[in-house]
Structure 1
Amino acid sequence: MKSADLLTSAHTESIQAILDKVESSPLGLDESVAQARQKTFGPNQLPEAVSPSIVSIFIRQFKSPLIYVLLLAGVISLAIEAFSDAAFIFVVLLINAGIGLFQEYRAEQSAQALKSLAAGHALVLRGGEVFDVDARILVPGDIVLVESGAKVPADLRLIDSHDLSVDESVLTGESAVAHKDATLSLTAETPLADRDNMLFAGSLVNTGRGRGVVTATGLNTELGKIATSVLGRVATKAPLIVRMEKFTHRITIVTGLVCVLLVGISVTQGASLTSMLLLAVALAVSAIPEGLPVALTVALSVGMERMAKRGVIVRRLVAVEALGSCTYIASDKTGTLTVNQLTVRQIQFPEQDQWGVSGEGLEPEGEIRATTSLDQASADLLVSNLAQTMTLPNEAVLSQRDGQWEGHGDSVDLALLVFAHKAGVSPTQCLNKCPEFAMIPYESERQFAASLNLVDGQLKVFVKGSLERLLPMCNTMRCADGEKDIDPQTITQQAFNLAARGYRVLAAANGLLDIEVNANASHELTTEQLQGLCFVGLVAMSDPPRPEAAMAVANCRAAGITVAMVTGDHPQTALAIAREVGFADKPNEVVTGTQLQEAVSAGQDQFDVLCRGARVFARVEPQQKLQIVESLQRQGHFVAVTGDGANDAPALRAAQVGVAMGMRGTDVAKETSDIVITDDNFSSIVAGIEQGRLAYANVRKVIFLLISTGAAEVILFALALMAGLPLPLLAVQLLWLNLVTNGIQDIALAFEPTEGNELRQPPRPPNQGVFDKVMLQRMLLSAIAMGTVAFGTYYWLLKAGWSVEGARNLVLLLMVMFENLHAFNSRSETQSVFTMNPLKNKLLLFSVIAAQLLHVGAIYTPGLNEVLGLQAINWQEWAAMLVIALSLVLVNEAYKVWRVSRTQSLP
């Protein structure tokens, strides 16, 4: 059997013919057969784009207008026969490229490691049992189960389908969904987009359920045919990186214009060509922060790594900086704010009190305790009827393997299967006794699931879902003494009482349908047929809040972030959880889907007013979740929204930060989101926000260090030129200065740990640029302080009779000290440098020490000291330059004190 032989004909074959060709059955392959085929067909994956080689990354370090200017400086040095200067410029360029190579290669390796945390999975039948497996081990002949929100893991010939629609735009380019039908027979000429009895790898299931046999894997799939066109796509750069690259390009242009202007001035003053070119080279080297793009990429990559350690997988670099601006979190409830360990705790029948159910988790150990004096036969009949109704329209799988109970599927369905076992109803036996003829699978828009089963020779429908949807379907209710006319008010009150205690409440109903049984024909089940049913009872499940959720919400409040719950649950259930977690307390903070629908009709302003005061959105439909996000954005919020279903995709896409659940999230949700939470825990989202704020703060620190030091060098040169003094530093000295002060210190700032107050500050305004008022004030103050003090020192040395070479020697030492001390000033915008433990960022401490030692070494290294124009310095001169350099620390400390006092005095 060869998988490739099936690619062009699978859609033309009957289901049985396909099963015969792949030597499989509806129960799937045996594990031993699957493992043998794995060796034949290899892993079910497309070849990934080859990571850039070390050589290509190294070459890429020179593809920048900034580097082009420095290369031009080297060429000019060669032209004027300043060979030692030219050699040093080229050596420094190589060293800078080496540093960039190391950092980019490390970031690339980290990105590859993060990909492994988001590997695809598939539900497969092997030997009649359902397994959740890595999609890479699928082989032709495997039977795969798909449902709404899933990503199709391989090419499949459908065996059966229920209301199945698929987004195949990745293959066909068509945005319209494709509706699938396993029963279709197609001709060989049927185009790919019309092969509606097939599912293709890479497509996304929008609605419904399906089961199919794998006909092709890996490169043999239709997606594999176009693999070469999807490989090698360049990853999108974060907006911050793009803005900074544009900024540095502008600096390059401005530097060029300034150089031309100053050279022109020098010409009018009769300066020589050599001096003019030296001036241009020196200015170019001073102004250009050539390491900025690489440093920012590293800063964001470090943020991604740190988030991953906290359970937050960043799929797009943009999310790192976006999280720092988050002002509103619209969170779902189940599994995010709660532990997602649903257990049936109470059941209630019409005209009865609540009955207790004991037991925990997936272990079907426990009992049902009736609170009335019903005889055992009547009680058993009520319970078995409820258990059967909750079991048949159920898509989960609960089984015992090696003495342990395992479950696959939705947590609600699993809890209901556990309850059925406790009630003495075996789901497997129930389905064998009452074979399924048709079904309506659960979708969040419907809020119910239904199945049509053959019971004692008649077709009977079983429905479970929200009470609001089921009550209109019923005209009778099942009581201990038989069926009676339904009492909607009493039943609604029963559900309200359960929900008010924090339970998640589901209703059950069933009834005979007047349909002739035909075993040889397919039967359709529609919503319109669900009328005249008998209400069976209520099931109340508990899913307690996560222990850490309350603290996480409190941290959000301290950080100025509003938290709201968006759920499909009953309003009272949602409010009870919100009270426990701590972000809502009053009934008027709850808004229902019905109220939202009415507000839409009243106009956008009314809808916004309704959303503004809400902290709990209950009984919300997926489309309304999108409307809520859009309303919050209109009100100026920067929204992070969580989701796990296919229908959450529009809201995830619309939000500034889409957060998908890693454990229970569908593939559609993960594909649409910006970040994935591996443990589905709300506290992980808050931890991600903290790390996002830290990453953005570290980006600002890197920018502050590089721009302020570069500006200081320009100020020093401008003042010397205006004073008619010789150049205070040579071009090679400036290159050396930038190498020993920014070669690794800027990267080290990207590893700066938390200051501890990230979640005690308000969010950064979404429209605030990197160069805000505080950043500009600090940069100008620091640049002016360094530049003017260095110029004053240079001027004094020359007036005191020092030679130009000797003055340059001391000014270079002063600037090395200035800029290395400034790395410590850059660690915080508010905290004093004297209160921050230098050992918390050992890389920064060691880089500064190494830079100072490197400069000392250069002074006493024959040859190098001649190229750099360095001379020996006595200890008095060292001490004098250190005292002068410390003035920069005092200036920055004074600014921080002034700013803090000014902030505290503001109302």
Structure 2
Amino acid sequence: MLTPGDGGAGPAVPVGTRGPTVQTLATGEVFAALDASPRGLASADAAARRDRFGPNELPPAGRRGLWQDLVGQFTDLFAVVLLVASAITFLAYGLQKPQDVGTLQLAVAILGVVVLNAAIGFAQEYSAERTAESLQAMVPHTCRVLRDGERRELPARELVPGDVVVLEAGDAVPADCRLVEAHEVSVNNAALTGESDAVGRTGDPVAAGPVLQARNCVFMGTDVVAGAAKAVVFATGAATEFGGIFRLAAAAPRQKTPLQRQVASMARRVAGTALAIGAALFAVRVPAGQSFVETFVFALGVMVALVPEGLPATLSVSLAIGVRRMARRHALVKQLLAVEALGSTTVVCTDKTGTLTQAEMTVVQVWAGGAPHAVSGVGYAPEGDVANPQPVRGLLRAAALCCNARLVPPSDRQGWRVLGDTTEGALLVAAAKAGLDRVTEEAAAPRVAEYPFDSVRKLMSTVHGDTADGYHAYVKGAPQELLARSTSIDWGGERRPLTEELRAAVTAANDELASQGLRVLAAAWRPVSDSRPVQDEVESELTLLGLVGMLDPPRPEVSDAVAACRRARIRIIMVTGDHPLTAEAVARRVGIVSRPAPTVVTGARLDALDDKDLDTLLAAPGELLLCRVSPEHKMRVVTALQRRGEVVAVTGDGANDAPALKHADIGVAMGASGTDVAREAAVIVLLDDSFASIAAAVKLGRSVYQNIRKFLVYVFSSNIG
């Protein structure tokens, strides 16, 4: 039964449905616990629940109003020092006899510098915030819901606990839900957990445990990549797992940049020095018989002369120029000082999926008939080719026919994309590169039966009718499973018995592909007796066609960017929620790892380390990969690095990256593929999602820093004189 929350901030949470309860319930018990029905909620009931629990959306960020933002530009310590200097100069003008118009002009000039500095900072940050909001507005938020027994398409914000939602391949999950029907469902949890591989889901009860690990639950911010399902909403808005990470990010303090800290320190020293010298001069001149008023005005003048009035304007102009240069390199800077902070960076903690990689599975090698065949091109665009495609066309045809995914051509807003399992999408793209048209092949051999993939068999099989040759079965799946079920092999267009020698050759080829960090699938076929053969017949006495190796390819520009960071003496640490083997393979491809044995640490090991041990781990000079980590782990690592005096930049695109993005000295989010939560937490948004833009921004930031240092040397030399 649903009850309101405890009266705290945010929407109420359905009592009795969180924690270990929701995943352990049978289907009927789920509906009873959530006071729901398989026909969906009645409209009146849904409206009442929406009033009780609030809209299904994350609370807006606690942004200050425009006037508060503008006033905030004047509260910086150096701005305060200049305002005091201007006031002192006005006071000196009032006390002078006769009054010197030059003093008045100086007072007005100092005040004008403060106003100009504030205007530049406010205009830039206001523009960046509006751009960031427009990025969020581009994301559509609708879902299919059962209401009053009918399927309707509603805005996701209108969902309430107890709603029954219908999910299909390609859908974004609109809230935290418990599955009650699941037909070969897989979801991509990368935005929430950092895992790049799709994970299967079931509608059956599972054992108690953390709800995020429950195989019968799906969560806001993730995507359905295969199958179809019905699910009951048990948490919405801020009460979701996604909302929990949002709250963690909101609670993380925004760190001051190195330049902010240095300027504040300098402002304190300049103010103290000016006061001390002014007081000393006043104390020396008055006993010497000088006029009290004249001496006081003289001391005030010396104090004002020591203040570098042009520094804030120089800072703002230099940073604003850097912001514009970064914008030309597709980096949106939300705060001016972020330019210099990135230039001061000593450590980059980078996510893997979507940051270093394309987040698009791609076939890079096909093995058939004892020979490998390279596949060019990356991503889901069918652009590229297969080296010597003729020997592998049969393999890729079988793999493409044994798929449920669909390739979607580009639109005005999106490029090529896949509806369904990303692995199957990669197979379809590889088939297209080999010159196969799936529509034509399906028309020639229409599907008449299917045996879906499951985690026990690790296979998927389809049966196709062909008027000329009868019925054929096509099977794809784990190489070990297919090899065990095969009795022959296609070897250069000739069917041969699968001898022990040939089995060893297939096993060696599989091991070679796996050692390169590739995900390997095999494909096979056999003729069958009719359109509805039993599954055992379909998946036995097969003819093995070959192997397909695929990966989530690194972005082509990342290797050069990593090398540039190394030349700049910036340490790069990969921090990901993915599997250690996958993380190490990608790290080697992009150059983050070059030595034989990098240090690989999982989240479980981080939990066992106290702060001293963690400091020792991070201080070690070797290459470091942190895998299977949670948002809390990422924040802890960033804090430990900052404790050691490092200036830390964090890159990421998922909600799981948001707390670390905000806690870092400089948070860099992906603009195209990143989540709203990540973009909100970051101070720089990469509009092209390219790690190379970070390297370019670091170079620009360092040039800005050098320019500022040169100006400081000049202005203090002048003021001391």
TM-score scaled by length of structure 1: 0.48
The match for 2:510 is 495
Cα gap change, 1:388 to 1:694, in 2 (>3 Å): same
Q: What is the distance in 1 between the residues matched to 2:449 and 2:112? A: 76
CA–CA distance in 2 between the matches of 1:486 and 1:671? 58
- Candidates 80, 90, 94, aligned match of 1:64: 80
* Cα distance in structure 2, aligned partners of 1:436 and 1:415: 18
Max radius of gyration: which structure? 1
Residue 279 of structure 2 is aligned to residue 264 of structure 1: no
2: CA distance, partners of 1:628 / 1:222: 22
Q: Which residue is equivalent to 2:527? A: none
Which residue is equivalent to 1:686? 695
Contact 2:647 2:665 in 1 (8 A): yes
In 1, are the aligned partners of 2:354 and 2:689 still within 8 Å (CA)?
A: yes
- Does residue 1:21 correspond to 2:43, yes or no? yes
What secondary structure is seen at the aligned counterpart in 2 of 1:269?
coil
**2-structure distance, mates of 1:662, 1:272:** 65
**Deviating more after overlay: 565-574 vs 670-679:** 565-574
Partner of 1:416 in structure 2? 427
Helix, strand or coil at the partner of 1:538 = strand
Change in 2 beyond 3 A, CA 1:42/1:243 = same
1:70-469 → structure 2 map (5 Å cutoff): 70-75=86-91, 77-78=93-94, 91-92=108-109, 94-116=111-133, 118-119=135-136, 140=158, 237-290=256-309, 292-293=311-312, 295-297=314-316, 299-314=318-333, 319-326=338-345, 343-344=362-363, 346-348=365-367, 353-354=371-372, 361-363=380-382, 369=389, 371=391, 386-387=399-400, 391=403, 398-399=407-408, 406-407=417-418, 412-419=423-430, 422=436, 433-434=449-450
Instruction: Report the Cα distance in structure 1 between the residues aligned to 2:614 and 2:75, rounded to whole angstroms.
Output: 50
**1:99 and 1:628 mapped to 2: Cα distance?**
39
Question: 1:71 corresponds to which letter in structure 2?
Answer: A
Q: Is the 8 A contact 1:204 1:667 kept in 2?
A: no
Query: Using a 3 Å threshold, how does the CA distance of structure 1 residues 666 and 164 change in structure 2: closer, same or farther?
Result: same
Q: Is the 8 A contact 1:384 1:423 kept in 2?
A: no
Highest RCO, 1 vs 2 (Cα 8 Å, sep ≥ 6):
2
SS for the counterpart of 1:398 is strand
Write the distance in 1 (CA, Å) between the matches of 2:660 and 2:503.
34
Q: Residue 506 of structure 1: SS of its match in structure 2?
A: strand
- Deviation of 1:539 after TM superposition, in Å, equals 0.9
Please state whether the residue corresponding to 1:102 is helix, strand or coil: helix
Q: What's the secondary structure of 1:507's corresponding residue?
A: strand
Structural mapping, 1:338-737, within 5 Å: 343-344=362-363, 346-348=365-367, 353-354=371-372, 361-363=380-382, 369=389, 371=391, 386-387=399-400, 391=403, 398-399=407-408, 406-407=417-418, 412-419=423-430, 422=436, 433-434=449-450, 479-480=488-489, 490-495=505-510, 497-498=512-513, 504-508=518-522, 538-541=547-550, 559=568, 568-569=581-582, 589-591=594-596, 612=622, 621-623=627-629, 643=652, 659-665=668-674, 675-711=684-720
Deviation of 1:311 (Å) = 1.7
Query: Per-residue CA shift, 1:91-118, capped at 9, x if unaligned?
Result: 4454344423432332333332442464
Residues 298, 641 of structure 1: CA spacing in aligned structure 2 closer, same or farther, 3 A cutoff?
same
Aligned pair in 2 of structure 1 residues 665, 91: CA closer, same or farther (>3 Å)? closer
Task: Report the counterpart of residue 49 of structure 1 in structure 2.
Answer: 63
1:547 and 1:81 mapped to 2: Cα distance? 71
**CA-based RMSD:** 7.1
Partner letter of residue 107 of structure 1?
Answer: Q
Q: CA deviation at 1:273?
A: 0.9
The CA deviation at 1:281 is 1.4
8 Å contact from structure 1 (residues 329, 639) kept in 2: yes
Counterpart residue number, 1:133: none
SS at match of 2:66: coil
Instruction: Tell me how far 1:289 sits from its aligned partner.
Output: 2.7
Deviations 1:50-108 (A, max 9, x none): 54239747876997244235424534553566666685565445434442343233233
- Report deviation, 1:306: 2.5
**In the superposition, relative to structure 1, how do residues 607 and 272 fare at CA in structure 2: closer, same or farther (>3 Å)?**
closer
**Displacement after TM superposition at 1:494 (Å):** 0.7
Relative to the length of structure 2, the TM-score reads: 0.58
- Report the alpha carbon displacement of residue 687 of structure 1 after superposing the two structures with TM: 1.4
1:606 & 1:234 partners in 2: Cα distance?
25
Q: 1:492 to 1:564 in 2, by over 3 A?
A: farther
Q: What is the alpha-carbon distance in structure 1 between the residues aligned to residue 285 and residue 571 of structure 2?
A: 60
Amino acid at match of 2:425: L
Offset at residue 258 of structure 1 (A):
2.2
SS of 1:286's equivalent in the other structure is helix
Aligned residue pairs, count: 601
In structure 1, C-alpha distance between the alignment counterparts of 2:679 and 2:139, rounded to whole Å: 14
Cα offset, 1:260, TM superposition: 2.0
How far has the Cα of 1:138 moved from its partner? 5.2
CA distance in 2 between partners of 1:463 and 1:594 (Å):
35
Q: Give deviations 1:14-71, integer Å, cap 9, x for gaps.
A: 26454653999xxxxxxxxxxxxxxxx9999848735423974787699724423542
Residue-by-residue CA offset, 1:443-495 (whole Å, 9 max, x unaligned): xxxxxx96899999xxxxx9968xxxx86999666743799999986445313
3-state SS, counterpart of residue 347 of structure 1: strand
Query: Structure 1 125/476 Cα, relative in aligned 2: closer, same or farther at 3 Å?
Result: farther
Counterpart Cα distance in 1 of 2:362 and 2:690: 19
1:282 Cα deviation after fit: 0.8
Does structure 2 conserve the Cα–Cα contact (< 8 Å) formed by 1:496 and 1:572? Answer: no
The DSSP-based 3-state class of the residue aligned with 1:119 is helix
* Matched residue type, 2:703: L
What amino acid does structure 2 have at the position aligned with 1:264? A
Post-superposition offset of 1:355: 6.5
Residue 308 of structure 1 and its aligned partner are, at CA, apart by 2.6
Aligned to 2:470: none
DSSP 3-state at the match of 2:158: coil
Deviation per CA, 1:511-550: give whole Å up to 9, x if none: xxxxxxxxxxxxxxxxxxxxxx999953134888867667
- What residue in structure 2 maps to residue 800 of structure 1? none
Residue in 2 that maps onto 1:740: none
Q: Name the CA distance, whole Å, in 2 between partners of 1:537 and 1:623.
A: 36
Aligned-partner Cα distance in 2 for 1:216–1:289: 55
What amino acid does structure 2 have at the position aligned with 1:104?
G
The 1-side partners of 2:190 and 2:390 are apart by 48
Separation of aligned partners in 1, 2:280 and 2:190 = 59
Residues 287 and 417 from structure 1, CA distance in 2 versus in 1: closer, same or farther, beyond 3 angstroms? same
Q: 1:509 to 1:483 in 2, by over 3 A?
A: same
Q: Is the 1:22–1:140 contact (alpha carbons within 8 Å) kept by the matching residues of 2? A: no
- Structure 1 residues 261-270 or 80-89, which shifts more? 80-89
Contact 2:451 2:461 survives alignment (8 Å): yes
* 1:294 CA drift (Å): 5.7
